[in-house]
Amino acid sequence: MLLGIRWKSMRLKIIAWSFIPTTIILGAVALVMFMAYQQVTEDLVLERNQDLARLAGSQLATELDEYSTILTTLARTGALYRADPQNQQEALEQAGNRLVVFDGGVLILNTHGTVVAAYPERPDALGADWSDRPYFQQILRSTGPVFSNITEDGLDGRQVITISVPITDEQGAFRGTLVGLFRLGEITISPFYGSIVKLRVSDTGSTELVDDMGRLIYHDDPTLVGQDFSAEPFVQQVMAGRVGSQRTQDIDGTEILVAYAPVPGTPWGLITEEKWATLLEAGQGYQYFLLFLLALGIIVPALVVTAGVQLLTQPINDLIEGAKAVAMGNFGHTITVNTGDELQELAAQFNRMSAQLQRSYNYLEQRIAGRTQALSTINAISAVVSRSMDLDETLQDALDKTLEITSTTVGGVFLLNEEGEDHLHLTAQRGMSEAMVALVDEFPLETDITAQRAIRKGRPVIRELADYPEGAWHDLLTTEGWQRIISLPLVTKGNSIGTITLFTHSPDLLIVEHIQLLAAIGQQIGVAIENAQLYAQAQQLAMAKERQRLARDLHDSVTQALYGVTLYAEAANRQIAVGETDMAVQNLNELRATAQEALREIRLLIFELRPPVLEEQGLAAALQARLESVEGRSGLKTVLDVENKPKARLPMDTEMGLYRIAQEALNNVLKHAQAQEVQVRLQDLPAEHKVVLEIADDGLGFDASNGHGSGRLGLHTMRERAALLDGDLIISSEPGKGTRIRVEIKHDEVN
C-alpha cells in the first residue's frame, strides 16, 4: 500500500476500466462536436448568403418593375398606339420628366422593328431597321416587359441594356415597341446602377450583375463592365437559372464566398461576393467557449467517477443484469436489493418500470394488431375502388369488398340526388330482396333515419330496428328480420354525398372494432366516387373542346373557301351574260382551284375525327387509309413502311396519340412544306419495349437548330401529345432539305 491507495483494489480497477474509455469517448465526442459546429456554421453561412442573393434578386426585380411600369403606362396612351411618328415624338418629349431615369434614352419601334421616334433625339437611329434585335423578336411573343442582354444600341454605339414593352391599342392589338435604355460603364449618376447599389449585402462584400451571356452589366470596378465572365463556374450556374453559393478564391488568392441567384422576370443573374474570413469572425469566440465546455465535460465526469465509484457494488451489477434482461424482451423481470439507501429505491423504481413496460408492451401489441387490420382493410378498399373509373363498377366493387370485410351479406350504396339532398337513390346493391329494392330505389332521406344521421353528421351510425318509426320501411325491415342497420357516409371534400348501408339479423353483431375504420372506408369510397365523376366530366369536356376546335376549323377554312366559290361563280355568271368569256374562264378556273382547296380541307377535317379503321384494324391501317384518302388524292407521292409489326395491338391510348401526331405532321406537309413526297415509317422494337414513328418529307424545311419553327406548324401540339405518352419527339430540319419528325414511345405491354 502506497499513500493509502490499494493499487489492486476494486475501486482502482473500476476507475481505470470506466474512466479511461470514457475519457477517450468524451474526447472523440468533443472533437466531433467541434468539427460539427464548424461544418454547421459553414453550412449556415452558405445558406444565409444564398438566401440573401435570392432576396436581393427579388428586390432588384421589384426595382426594375418601377421602370417597366413607367414604359407600360406611357405605351398605353393614344398618342403612342395610333402609330403616328410625329405624335409619338411629341408624346416622348412631353413625358421627358418621367423618362429621365432612362439615361440612355427612349426609342419607339414600329411593328416592323423600324425606329420611328427617340427621346432625346437620335438621328443615328431614326429610320434604322432594328427588327433583328433579340429583344424586339422576343417582344413579338410576349405581352409583358422584356429585359435585354448587353447591346451596343446606345448613342455612338455605346453599350446599354434595354427594357422593352409592347405598345397596344384599346383592342389589345400590337402597335409597336417602347424601348428604354440604360447606359453601362463608368457612369457617375445612373438610376439603374443606383438600384443595384442599394442591394449591397454588407459593407465588405461586392455585388455583380451578369446577362445570360455571362457579360458583366454591373461591377464595383466599372472598368470590368461588359467583359465576358461566362467561363466562371458560378456564372455558368446563374446563367442556367440556378440559386446557390460556393467557396472559391479571388484573383488575389483570398478565400471568398460567392452567392448567386437569377433576377426574376429577366435573363440576368445577381452575384454577391464576401470574404470568407469576415463571415466567420462572429463565431470564433463561441468556438473557444465550446472547446472550454467540452473540456469541462471531461474533467467534471472524471472527478464524479473518482468520488462515487466506491458506492458501485453488487446492486449496480444487479441493475445491469436486470436492464439486460429487459433489453432482451423480458419486460416483467425484477431485482431484489436490501441496502436501505438510494440504490434500494432505484431498484424499486426499476421493478415498477419493468412492470409498466410489460403492460405497455401488451397494450402496444393489441394496438398494432388492430391498426394493422385497419390499414389492411383500408388498403383492400383502396385497391378495389381504384381498379376502374366507371362509377357503377366502382360502387359495386366497393360494396362487395365492404360486405366481405365487415362479414355481412346484404347492403346497398345510396347516393343523394343531384337535384337536391332530400332523396336517396339506390346505385348498387347486393343481397337485397326485390321488395327492398323496389321500396328504396328512390325514397326520401327522412325515411331512413340511420342514413339521414350518417349523412348529416359525416360519421358512421348504427341503429336498432326499435329506433325506426312506424311505416312501410319499418314494416319491411320487420318482415325480413333485420335487427341492425349500419350506415357509412361517403365523404368527399368534407361533404357527405351518400351512404353504404348494411343490414344484419343479429342485434348484438358488431361489424368492426373501431368506428374510425368505418369512417375511413366511407372516405376512401367517397374519394373514388369523386375521381370517377371527375373522370367522366373530363371526358365530356375533352369532347366539347374537340367539337369547338372542329367548328373553328370549319369556319376558318372550309367556310371561307365556299364563300370564295360563290363569289367566283357569281362573277363568271355576270361576265358570261355580257360576253366577257375570257374573264369568265379565268374566274371559273379560280372557282375550280378554290373548290379543290375546300375539298382538301374537308378531307383533313374528316380525318381529324377518330377513323373507324384505327379502332378496327390498328395504327398501321389507319395511317395507310389517311395517306390514300388525303395525301394521295392531293398529288403527293406517299410511302408507308411498317417494320416488325406486333402480333397484338398497342394500347388504344398509345395508338390514338401516335395517330394524332402523324396527322398533325401530315397536315403541316400539305399546308406548308410544298413537298413532292412524304414517307411514314412505323417500327416496333419489342426488345426495348418501344414503338417508333417517323414522318419525313422533301419540302421546304426550316432551321430547327436555333428553335425556328417552335410555336408554329403544330409542333407545340405534337410535343404535348408525345409528353402525355411519356415519349420523346425529335425534329430534324434544314432549309431546302425537308423535315423529319421522329417519335419514340415506350410501352410495357400490348393488349
Q: Per DSSP, which regions of 451-532 are E strands?
A: 461-464, 484-492, 495-504
Q: Among 195, 174, 176, 192, which Cα is nearest to 184's?
A: 192
Which pairs with CB-CB distance under 8 Å and at least 24 residues apart come from 197-204?
198/59, 198/63, 199/56, 199/59, 199/60, 199/270, 201/49, 201/52, 201/53, 201/56, 201/272, 201/274, 202/274, 202/278, 204/274, 204/275, 204/278
What pLDDT score was predicted for residue 4?
46
Provide, rounded to the nearest whole percent, the portion of the chain with pLDDT above 70.
68
Task: Show the domains of the chain with their CATH numbers.
Answer: 52-277 (3.30.450.20), 611-746 (3.30.565.10)
Residue 400: all three cell numbers together: 362487395
Whole-angstrom distance, CA of residue 53 vs CA of residue 332: 60
Q: Which residue has 370564295 as its cell numbers?
A: 564
Q: What are the helix (H) ranges across 95-252?
A: 96-99, 134-140, 191-197, 233-239
Residue 534 · residue 497 · CB < 8 Å: no
Query: What would the pLDDT profile of 433-491 be if each residue is shown by its tens digit?
Result: 888 877 777 767 776 767 777 777 777 888 787 777 777 777 778 888 888 888 878 77
Residue pLDDT, tens place only, 490-548: 777 767 778 888 888 876 555 445 556 666 676 667 666 766 666 666 666 656 566 66
| Sequence-distant (≥ 6) Cβ neighbours of residue 634 within 8 angstroms | 600, 670
Q: Report phi then psi at 499, rounded to 5.
A: -145, 160
Helix (H) or strand (E) holding 426: strand 423-430
Q: CB–CB of 634/677 below 8 Å? A: no
**How much is the average pLDDT of 368-395?**
61
Residue with cell 436581393: 56
Q: From CA 542, how far away is CA 528, in angstroms rounded?
A: 21
Greatest mean pLDDT among 134-138, 349-353, 386-390: 134-138
pLDDT value of position 615? 67
Burial of residue 363, with CB atoms counted within 10 A of its CB: 0-12 exposed, 13-18 middle, 19 or more buried: exposed
Inter-residue contact 607 to 626 (CB < 8 Å): yes
Among residues 489, 448, 453, the alpha carbon closest in space to that of 465 is found at 448
Radius of gyration in angstroms for the set of CA atoms belonging to the chain, rounded to a whole number? 41
- Please tell me the predicted confidence (pLDDT) of residue 679: 92
pLDDT at 306: 63
The most confident of the ranges 156-170, 250-264, 586-600 is 156-170
Average pLDDT, the chain: 76
pLDDT at 360 over 90: no
Greatest mean pLDDT among 121-125, 245-249, 318-322, 415-419 lies in 121-125
Evaluated on CA atoms 125, 131, 132, 136, the torsion sign reads: positive
- How confident is the model over 345-356, as a mean pLDDT? 74
- At residue 479, the pLDDT reads 80
**Continuous H helices in 328-390:** 342-385
Residue 643 is which amino acid?
Answer: E
Q: Which of the four pLDDT bands, split at 50, 70 and 90, describes residue 164?
A: very high
Confidence of residue 565 (pLDDT cuts 50, 70, 90): low
pLDDT at position 146 is 92
Say yes or no to pLDDT of 166 above 90: yes
Residue 567 pLDDT level (bands cut at 50, 70, 90): low
Residue 192 pLDDT grade (very low, low, confident, very high; cuts 50, 70, 90): confident
